[in-house]
Amino acid sequence: MKLGPATREYVANKQATGMVFGVEAYVLRAFTERMGPNVPIKKITSDSVLDYLNGRGPVTLFWHRKHDALSGFWRFAIQRGYTDRSPVPARRPKKPIPFIPYIYTREELRRLLDGVTSYQKEWRKLEPITLRALLLLLYGAGLRTSEPIRLACSDVELAESILTIRITKFYKTRRIALSTQLQSVLAEYDANRRLAGHSRHDTAPFFTYKKGGPVKRVVLEDAFQRLRQHVGVVRQNARYQPRLHDLRHTFAVHRLIAWYRSGADVQRLLPGLSTHLGHISLSGTQRYLTMTPELLTEASLRFEHYAGEVIHGQA
């Protein structure tokens, strides 16, 4: 059995069960291109697999994602009788320190928004009002980076203050309510795009370039990185700098802090936050709740208050 057909069969088999299997499919495609699609599975050596896993840089968490994807494929190949052994190394290097998302302070968020208009260069194909609206939507609604730029005009119901986020990471569609502030931001942007003559047909992209056409993720992320550098939002002595996607993490953490401060029942509200973010389980949401000093303080205050009530009740 040749590698190309076997990996395609494996990916199709997994996706037929309802799994997205996106990262694994990407890994297997890259590995197949590296080895050659017509190479027999039995001819692939442990050295060639290890060479692919190691790549050219230091070991990262993605090394382990690649290892998992290849291990799963070879288990499948052995079960199907395509080979009788796995060339994937059994020993794995120690995982590096996990990546920690950057949680923007409110002052940094203000600097970023102010920087959209103070930046002297052009945002490539984007207008400042478009970039500002996208940043506010990513933070204010906690969307994934790809979600707002995929919005069609019919997905933005300004009169009802509702967004429809279609076919997301887990092949789900969800509807989220917009705050009054976000509704106002999007209404202002929509009025501007209408004046520019952009189509308001149901299937037309809501977020567009100056001359029309849907905003591409690479253009948005490039604009954000230049904005971040312009206003001086940096991680000191760190390999990983703040990302556009970290606005989503920031939304989740700031929401939790607000709940703690208002005395809300956080455990009761967490499932709603999970649904809003488009997660399939609470465990996915918990990953976003990075423990910042501010969040730790609020959680500790809540615990002290709860403990005091318990002790007082037992006295």
Q: Which of 8, 29, 92, 144 is flagged as catalytic?
A: 144
pLDDT band at 313 (very low <50, low <70, confident <90, very high): very low
On the question of pLDDT at 310 being above 50, the answer is no
- Answer yes or no: 200 catalytic: no
pLDDT band at 296 (very low <50, low <70, confident <90, very high): low
Q: Bridge-partner residues for 156, per DSSP? A: 163
Measured from the Cβ of residue 144, the count of other Cβ atoms closer than 10 Å reads 15
On the question of pLDDT at 90 being above 70, the answer is yes
Measured from the Cβ of residue 84, the count of other Cβ atoms closer than 10 Å reads 8
- Answer yes or no: 268 catalytic: no
Cα–Cα distance, 5 to 18 (Å, whole number)? 21
% the chain with pLDDT above 70: 89
Residue-wise pLDDT tens digits, 249-258: 999 989 888 8
Lowest mean pLDDT among 71-80, 226-235, 264-273: 264-273
On the question of pLDDT at 216 being above 50, the answer is yes
- Answer yes or no: 144 catalytic: yes
Q: How large is the average pLDDT for residues 22-27?
A: 91
DSSP codes joined into one string, the chain: -BHHHHHHHHHHHHHHTT---HHHHHHHHHHHHHH-TTSBGGG--HHHHHHHHH-SS---HHHHHHHHHHHHHHHHHHHTTS-S---S-S--PPPPPPP------HHHHHHHHHHHHH--S-BTTB-HHHHHHHHHHHHHH---THHHHT-BGGGEETTTTEEEE-S-TTS--EEEEPPHHHHHHHHHHHHHHHHTT----TTSBSSB-TTSSBPPHHHHHHHHHHHHHHHT---TT-SSPP-TTHHHHHHHHHHHHHHHHHT--HHHHHHHHHHHHT-SSHHHHHTT----HHHHHHHHHHHHHHHHHHHHHH-
Q: How large is the average pLDDT for residues 214-221?
A: 94
Look up tokens 């100056």; give the residue: 210
Residue-wise pLDDT tens digits, 146-176: 999 999 999 999 999 999 998 766 567 899 9
Q: How far is CA 59 from CA 62, 63, 93, 97, in A?
A: 8, 6, 8, 11
On the question of pLDDT at 308 being above 50, the answer is no
Give pLDDT, residue 199.
93
On the question of pLDDT at 263 being above 70, the answer is yes
- Answer yes or no: 288 catalytic: yes
What is the rounded average pLDDT for all residues in the chain? 87
| CB-based contact 102:225 (threshold 8 Å) | no
Q: Which of 169, 210, 226, 302 is flagged as catalytic?
A: 169
Give pLDDT, residue 276.
85
Cα–Cα distance, 241 to 21 (Å, whole number)? 27
Q: How large is the average pLDDT for residues 118-125?
A: 78
- Answer yes or no: 243 catalytic: no
On the question of pLDDT at 314 being above 50, the answer is no
pLDDT band at 293 (very low <50, low <70, confident <90, very high): low
Q: How large is the average pLDDT for residues 47-72?
A: 91
